[in-house]
């Protein structure tokens, strides 16, 4: 992952509501959650949620699909894993003896 892409993603996550929304979407996995339900869980108006989801979507962290009259949002778990890999790619470069748990973390990052 390029640094510019990582910065864009971390920028999108650096706001409390967006981070909370992303964490909820991660919990729901590929199944996702309807925008209205997410709005209720976060306790924010639909238009405010739309604003925040737009930021997450432009950063590649969130995708959506139509299901009847609802829009279902879900986290791009591949992007989440790529961000973790970006952060940890040089982990333990100077001391490999401390890296045994990193591979486990990276494998667990995506369902």
Hey, where are the domains in the chain?
A: 3-108
Binning pLDDT at 50, 70 and 90, where does residue 92 land? low
For the beta carbon of residue 14, count every other beta carbon within 10 angstroms.
Answer: 9
| pLDDT bucket at 111, cuts 50 / 70 / 90 | very low
Residue 82 pLDDT > 60: yes
Judge whether residue 110 has pLDDT over 80: no
**What is the structure's pLDDT at 88?**
80
Whether residue 21 has pLDDT greater than 50: yes
pLDDT at 106: 59
Query: Alpha-carbon torsion 45, 46, 49, 55, what sign?
Result: negative
Quick count: other Cβ atoms within 10 Å of Cβ 52?
A: 22
What's the CATH number for 3-108? 1.10.10.10
């Amino acid at each position: 992952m390029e640094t510019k892409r990582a910065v864009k993603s971390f920028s999108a996550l650096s706001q409390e509501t967006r981070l909370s929304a992303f964490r909820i979407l991660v919990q729901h996995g590929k199944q996702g959650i309807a925008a209205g339900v997410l709005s209720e869980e976060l306790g924010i108006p639909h238009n405010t949620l739309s604003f925040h989801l737009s930021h997450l979507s432009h950063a590649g962290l969130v995708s959506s699909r139509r299901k009847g009259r609802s829009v279902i949002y879900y986290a791009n778990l591949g992007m989440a894993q790529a961000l973790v890999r970006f952060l940890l790619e040089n982990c333990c470069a100077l001391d490999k003896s401390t890296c045994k748990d990193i591979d486990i973390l990276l494998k667990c990052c995506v369902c």
